[in-house]
Amino acid sequence: MALSGNLAVPLAVLVLLLWGPPWTHGRRSNVRVITDENWRELLEGDWMIEFYAPWCPACQNLQPEWESFAEWGEDLEVNVAKVDVTEQPGLSGRFIITALPTIYHCKDGEFRRYQGPRTKKDFINFISDKEWKNIEPVSSWFGPGSVLMSSMSALFQLSMWIRTCHNYFIEDLGLPVWGSYTVFALATLLSGLLLGLCMIFVADCLCPSKRRRPQPYPSKKLSESLQPLKKVEEEQEADEEDISEEAAESKEGTNKDFPQNAIRQRSLGPSLATDKS
């Protein structure tokens, strides 16, 4: 009995060490999780956001410091959040994450990239001393809410969807790699063909061809511009009529003079005969 009592104490201590203190179980993390659905919450208030990946060793080393810093969030009036880029590829494209871990500070919609030391004390000083004011914010053109970054987010989501489909074709359906590539090539050709037809249809509706366009009636400006030409033509016709009338009168004059000359010649004829005799 004494031996069993002596063994019970070390076993109890070992169980406590392995299981951990009872007050640590069910402890809720103060770090908020940001997804594609709730990322617009970052546009209001003061935030510190960490972009990480579970497989990244540097991210794993940062997690204890980040969790400890999150405990001071309420005192510092700052929201501490994190984003798993493997689960949220759209946010990875929206914020242009090229290295892990990446930390951003956001104040009422203005985003600044944190590049200082990554310890709890440095994070606290960064917020309490307002060191973020010394960092130039991200341009509105490259802000996560801009049209450009929204398009980038859509491209990242599309690439992740294509990768998921590729894995499904190879692992679940058993297609070879070249078969999966063939499927995506055909899908690309068909989508390009449909897009081209839609663009042609829209262009034809906005700018119809000249054959289908009805001929417009002459405008007032066109009729006014043609009036001087009409006047010139009328004047030319009037001149031609005057010339023709003058020619006709001249012909009539010659015709009237001709019989008078003939009568004179006839009258002069007998007188000339008498003189010769």
Decide if 59 is catalytic. Answer: yes
| Catalytic residue list contains 165 | no
> What Rg do the C-alpha atoms of the chain give, in angstroms?
50
8 A C-beta contact, residue 51 and residue 102: yes
Residue tagged active-site, from 56, 198, 205, 207: 56
Q: What are phi and psi of 229, to 5 degrees?
A: -65, -40
Nearest-5° Cα angle at 153, 38 to 41: 20
Answer for the pair 182, 176: CB distance below 8 angstroms, yes or no: no
Q: Which two tokens stand for residue 118?
A: 């990554």
Q: Which of 117, 100, 94, 96 is nearest to 52 (CA)?
A: 100
Number of helices and strands in the chain (H, E): 8, 5
Three-state DSSP at 104 gives: strand
Active site residues: 56, 59
